[in-house]
Amino acid sequence: MQDRPTYDELLAAIEHFLDTEIAPNVSGARAFHARVSANAIRTIRRELAAEEEHLAAEWAGLDALLGAAEMPVGHAALRAAIRERNRALSAAIRDGLDDDRLHQVYAHVRATVRNKISVSNPDLLDRSL
């Protein structure tokens, strides 16, 4: 285990530096890219905080649609397995689903996309309520 600051505390320091030292003191494309970079740090912080929960939720949703499977251990393995299952789900959508099934798929995809948005652009979620 590493000493403090934690990764989130370190990222907060970089975010603050970009927002208060860089963005206001450069101009044009560079200022824009500084704001984009600070935003990316905020995204990473939200992702790290929610990743465990979001991956597990996506896996459970896919279990309900494709049949239960054992959840791989470790984030890298889990992400790779989710990607494969999303390929299977995509193929099933392409092949055509009956209305009941389609309804379930919509609900799952909506929940998954909601989690992605809560990481990448939570403002959008607030505005859509």
Partner 1 sequence: MDKVANRAPATPVRYNLAVTPEEVSAALRDFLLRSHGARNVIVENVRLLTGGASRQTWSFDATIDQGETLPLILRADPRKGPNVMSRSVEYRVLEAAGNAGVPVPRVHLMGDDSLGVPFFLMERIEGETIARRILRDEEYAAAREVMTAQLGTILAGIHRTPLTDDLRETLQSPESGKTAAETEVARFEQTYRMITPEPHPAFELAFQWLRRNLPPPSEDTLVHGDYRMGNLIVGPEGIRSILDWELAHIGDPLEDFGFLCVRSWRFGNDHLPVAGVGQREELFRAYEAAGGRHVDPNAVHWWEVFGNLRWGIICIMQASAYLTGMSKSVELATIGRRTAETEWELLNLMETN
Q: Which of 43, 57, 63, 71 binds partner 1 (CB under 8 A)?
A: 43
Q: Is 104 one of the binding residues for partner 1 (CB under 8 A)?
A: no
33 contributes a contact to partner 1 by CB under 8 A: yes
Exposure pattern of 49-72 as b/e (b: 16+ CB <10 Å)? eeeeebbebbbebbeebeeeeeee
Q: With binding defined as CB under 8 A, does residue 30 bind partner 1?
A: no
**Residues in region 47-86 near partner 1 by CB under 8 A:** 83, 86
Choice from 53, 90, 101, 122 touching partner 1 (CB under 8 A):
90
- Which residue, 15, 55, 114, is CA-closest to 124? 114
Q: Tell which residue, 72, 117, 64, has the closest CA to residue 89.
A: 64
Give dist(CA 96, CA 99) in Å, integer: 10
Binding site for partner 1 (CB under 8 A): 32-33, 36-37, 39-40, 43, 83, 86-87, 89-90, 93-94, 96, 105-106, 109-110, 112-114, 116-117, 120-121, 123-125, 127-128
